[in-house]
Amino acid sequence: MYFPSPRTKDEPPKLEGFLEYLRSKDYQLSTIETKWKLINILSRRVCNLWDSDSVRKYLKQSSWGNKRKNNAGYAYRDWCTWKGFEVQMDYYKEGESALPYIPRETEIDQLISGSNPSLACFLQVMKETAFRPGEVLSARAPGVREEVKYT
């Protein structure tokens, strides 16, 4: 296997071919962007991507969540494959996401009653119809042909 010398701290990583490699694997654009960003972060913080032990150590000690650590491990594994060597990364158990806060109906009613009249109308329609904000704003009364301007 060919291992070029690691870069110095001042030298930026040479990752031009890495983008082409990710595109050739038919990843979605968002996946390519995420992997690109993670490899850039690892190269800036770890400084030597050729040393997989230092990357493992960094991921283990970082304050990232376990999903982010796993994504960084996957991105690093792709980078290693692109460079021509295989590496096994640690898997971090992904905990369950906390449920979002859902206010009680009385709290929603208090919010609506404390708002100005136009916002209160908007919020009341959203509450009663379960429309999204854009749907409420684009809704028109039956028979109205011209667009209503909301101010």
Task: Give the residue with greater pLDDT, 103 vs 4.
Answer: 103
Q: How confident is the model at residue 100 (pLDDT cuts 50, 70, 90)?
A: confident
For 115-141, b/e burial (b = at least 16 CB within 10 A) is: eeeeeeebbbbbeeeeeeeeebeeeee
pLDDT value of position 10: 46
pLDDT value of position 13: 53
pLDDT value of position 74: 92
pLDDT value of position 113: 96
Q: How confident is the model at residue 1 (pLDDT cuts 50, 70, 90)?
A: very low
pLDDT value of position 117: 94
Tokens of 102: 């859902």
pLDDT value of position 50: 86
pLDDT digits (tens, 9 = 90+) for 105-129: 999 999 999 999 999 999 999 999 9
pTM greater than 0.85: no
